[in-house]
Structure 1
Amino acid sequence: MKNIIGKSWRDSASLIVLTKRNSELLSRGEDRGGVNYDILLQTRTRSATFANSVVFPGGVTESEDGSPRWLELLKAFGYTKKDLETFHRPDSVINPIFQNNPIQRHFQLRITAIRETFEELGLLICSRKRKEQRTGLWADIIQDIDVKNWQSRVANNPADWITLCEEHQCYPDIWSLHFWSNWLTPLTLPKRFDTAFFVTALENKPKSIGSSSEVVAVEWLSPAEVIHSGKELQPPQLYELNRLAHVKDIEELVKFAREKSGHDTDLIYPVFVKAKDGMFSVLPGDELYPSSVDYNNDNIINYKNKTVLELREASKIIHRVEIVKGKYQLVIQNYKPKHHINMEDMTYPI
C-alpha cells in the first residue's frame, strides 16, 4: 500500500504544539471549552500552500531530515540507535507513512516537523541536555540564536538545519514529539500529502515567535476558541481540534499522546459519497467506508436515490463529514477509534 500512496502523495509532517494556559487568563473564567492549554496556530499567506487557512506548522520532508549525520550528533548527547527504537512498538501494525523502515521513518518525520516549525515560526524545539538529564513531559526550546538568519538559511538549504544544531550544540528534541495521526489528502485534490501529525508540549509559552514570509498571523488559542472563531480551517485541523477538545488537562493529554505514540492508528483517508441532496465524506470505521480503498481512483460512492439524512438514519456506525447546502458537520455514532480518543456520539457543525 505504501508504494501505491508514494506515487501521488508527498510525505510531510505537521506539529501540534501545546502550552499551558496563563493562570491569570484561566482565572477570568472565559469560555474555553474547559481546557487549560493553548495550541499554536498560524494563518498562511495567499501564495502559500493552503492559502489563507489556519493550520498547524509543518511541511514536506527532505532527504536531509534522515541524514546519518543526525545520529552522530545525537551520540554526543548520550543517545544511541536503541533510543530510536522507542518510537515504534514491534507488536504494532505499521501505519502506511512509516512502512519499509518504521524506526527511520519515525525519526525522519520528527526531524521534519521540528525543522518546518522553525522555518515557519522561528520556534526551535531543540535541547542541549544529555540523555540522562531528560525527564518530564515538556519539550525544550532554544532561543539564544539569530532566528531570522537561520530561518533564511534553513529554508534555502535544508542541509543547514543540521549545521545550525552543530554550531549551537543542540539537537532536535524528537523524544518530546508523539505520533498522533496519519492523514492522506483525497485523490480529487490537486496537492496531495501523506502527513504524520505529532503532538508536543511546552511548559511555558515562548516570549516571541518569529514568523516567516509564508505566515501572516500567529496565535495561541484553545480548541474551542479556534473552532468557533469562523477562521478558515482545513478538514484535518478541524477534526483534530475537535478530538483534542475532549481532553481538558494538558498533562493528561501529553501523557495520553506519549502512551499512544508507538501504536498504530487508522490512516484517515476521506472517501466521498454522492447523495440525492448533497455530498459527504466517510472516514475509516464508517459503515459506508469501502473495505478496500483503491488509491489510484477517486472511490466516489453514489447513493443518488437517498438523501444525506436518510443515509445517516440507515447507518449504525457513523464516522463522516456531511456537506448539505454548503454547510459542514462532523457526525459520529457508535464509532470507537483504534488506540485513540473516543469522541463519543456527536453531530457538530463545522
Structure 2
Amino acid sequence: MPLPNSLSYFVSRVESGSFPSFHVFPGGKIEYSDGLPEWLNLVDVGDNIQPNSLQLSSKKTEDLSILDFKICAIRESYEETGFLLASKIPNIHDSIKSQHQKEFINFVKDNDIKVLSSRLLYFCRWITPKQSFRRWDVQFFMLNISDSQEDSNLLVQIYPQLNPSSNTNMMHQVSELVCLDWRTPDKFYDAFCEGEIKTVTPQVYMLNQMKMFHRWQDLQNFAIYKDTVEGIKPFISYLNLKPYPAVKIYTLPGDHMYQTQFEDKIDLEQEGDFSKPIHRVIVKKFCKGKKKNVRIVENIVNIPGIKFPTVPLPNKL
C-alpha cells in the first residue's frame, strides 16, 4: 500500500497454519458469506463509488465471481491486520473484537460501511503444481493508496502519527501473526535471497516484478494493463529436475520448455535459448542453502515502459 512516488507494502508473518514462520501476504479461504448477493449493495459501485475508485469498465455492478474473492481479501486483511478497506473506519480496537463474534457482512451492515472493492486490481493467480502435497488456487489483488484527502481514512490506519488522537491504527491478530512487516519490494526480495526470511514462489515472482517500479502510479498502470488488456492467466510452475542439487529451474506458462524436462545444455547450464519464448525462475543456493540467487528470466512479458535487465536485445518486450 504505497504512498506517492514510493513503493512499500506490508506482509504478515504467519505464526501457525499452512506456512508457519513465513512472510506472506494477508489472505485466507473464501467463506460462504463472502459470495452472498447482498454484497452488491454494500460495495462502492454505481452511484456510491468512491472518488479514488477505479472504473475500468461501464459495469454498474461487480461480477459476483470476482467480487467474492475481493470480499474475502478485504475480510481476511481486516481480521489479520486490522486494516479495513472501507468508506469509513469504526473504532478498530473495539470493532475487531466484536467483528469476530459475527459474520463480516453483518459487521459491515451494523456500522453502515461501504466496502471499497473497486479499489482492488486483480493482479495475479497462482495454482500449485500437480505434484504438490497440498494444492492451492490463489488469487492476488493489489491496492494502491495515495495521500489525497479521499484516502485519509485509509492512511491513518497505517500511519497513526497522522492523527495521534485516532484509535483506528492497524492491530495484527496475535493468534495467527507474529508481526506486520513493512518494507519496499526490493528489501523483501533481498531479505529472501539472503536467507533472512522465508516466503513462497508466487511472492518471490511478484516482488521481482514490483521492485522494478519506483512510483506507485507506474505500478498501478501496470496492474491496470494486466487487469484490462491481457487478463489474468493462472501460473502453475513446473520444476525441472536438474542434475545439480544447488540449482532449481521453474518454468512458467509461455516458456517453450514449459512442462518438459530440460535436455539441451543451453537450458541446463545457461538461462535458455533467447531466440525462443522464455519464462522461468532460476534459484541457485549458496552457503549451505541459506543464501540464494533468484533470477526471473523472461522475454514474453510486456510491461509498458519497463525493460527486464535479464533480457538482451533484440527480444522485444
Q: When the two structures are superposed, what TM-score results if normalisation uses the length of structure 1?
A: 0.68
SS of alignment partner, residue 219 of structure 1: strand
Aligned position for 2:118: 175
Aligned length: 273
Distance 1:215 1:38, change over 3 A: same
Cα distance change of structure 1 residues 238 and 143 upon mapping to structure 2, 3 Å threshold? farther
| Aligned residues of 1:270 and 1:281 also touching (Cα < 8 A) | yes
Question: Structure 1's 196 and 70: CA in aligned 2 closer, same or farther, altered over 3 A?
Answer: same
* Match status 1:265 vs 2:248: no
Residue 42 of structure 1 is matched in structure 2 by 12
Query: 2:271 is matched with which residue: 312, 316, 331?
Result: 312
State how far apart, in whole Å, the 1-side matches of 2:172 and 2:83 are: 9
Which residue in 2 is equivalent to 1:19? 2
Counterpart of 2:250 in structure 1 is 281
**Structure 1: distance between partners of 2:207 and 2:293:** 15
| Change beyond 3 A, Cα 1:211–1:247 | same
SS of the residue 1:281 aligns to: strand
Structure 1 residues 309 and 331: alpha-carbon distance in aligned structure 2, compared to 1, 3 A threshold = farther
What CA distance in whole angstroms lies between the structure 2 residues aligned with 1:51 and 1:269? 23
- For residues 272-320 of structure 1, give each alpha carbon's deviation from its aligned partner in whole angstroms, at most 9, with x where no partner exists: 2122224421012222114xxxxxxxxxx43468586436344543221
1:66 partner letter = G
Which structure features the higher share of strand residues?
1
Give unpaired runs (5+ residues) of structure 1.
1-17, 22-34, 81-85, 91-101, 129-141, 155-159, 291-300
TM-score, normalised by the number of residues in structure 2: 0.75
Structure 2 alignment gaps of length 5 or more: 50-54, 147-154, 161-168, 312-317
Structure 2 residue 194 is the aligned partner of structure 1 residue 211:
no
Q: Give the aligned partner of residue 330 of structure 1.
A: 295
Contact 1:42/1:219 (<8 A) preserved: yes
Task: Measure the CA separation in 1 of the matches of 2:44 and 2:234.
Answer: 33
Q: How far apart are residue 61 of structure 1 and its match? A: 1.1
Of the three residues 148, 171, 184, the one matched with 1:222 is 184
> Contact conserved, 1:87 with 1:106, CA < 8 A, in 2?
no
Identity rate of aligned residues, in percent? Answer: 24
The one-character-per-residue Cα deviations of 1:42-98 (angstroms, maximum 9, x if unpaired) are: 1110x2221111011111112211101212334998459xxxxx67799xxxxxxxx
- SS of structure 2 residue aligned to 1:50: coil
Alpha-carbon distance in structure 2 between the residues aligned to 1:323 and 1:106 = 33
Q: Look up the equivalent residue of 1:71 and give its one-letter code.
A: L
How far 1:20 sits from its partner (Å)? 1.3
Does structure 1 residue 125 correspond to structure 2 residue 105?
A: no
- How far apart are 1:336 and its partner, in Å? 2.3
Which of 255-264 and 225-234 deviates more?
A: 255-264
User: Which whole-Å CA distance do the structure 1 matches of 2:119 and 2:45 have between them?
Assistant: 18
Whether the 8 Å contact between 1:55 and 1:237 is mirrored in structure 2 is yes
Change (3 A) 1:161 1:197: same
Q: Structure 1 321/167 Cα, relative in aligned 2: closer, same or farther at 3 Å?
A: same
Cα deviation per residue 1:147-200 (whole Å; 9 max; x = unaligned)? 33145235xxxxx11111101101221011011111111222222211111110
Q: Give the counterpart letter for 1:243 in structure 2.
A: Q
Aligned to 2:137: 194
The amino acid across from 2:238 in the alignment is V
Task: Decide whether the 8 Å contact of 1:332 with 1:345 is kept in 2.
Answer: no
**Are the structure 2 counterparts of residues 340 and 271 from structure 1 closer, same or farther at C-alpha, using a change threshold of 3 Å?**
farther
RMSD, aligned α-carbons: 3.2
Distance 1:214-1:117 versus aligned 2 partners, 3 A rule: same
SS at match of 2:133: coil
Q: Which moved more, 1:317-326 or 1:196-205?
A: 317-326
Q: Which amino acid aligns with 2:8?
A: D
How far 1:271 moved relative to its partner? 1.0
Go from structure 1 to structure 2 and tell me whether the alpha carbon gap of 1:89 and 1:77 turns closer, same or farther (over 3 Å shift): closer
**d(CA) in 2 for partners of 1:315 and 1:276?**
22
**How has the CA–CA distance of structure 1 residues 116 and 287 changed in structure 2, closer, same or farther, with 3 Å as cutoff?**
same
| Change beyond 3 A, Cα 1:89–1:194 | farther
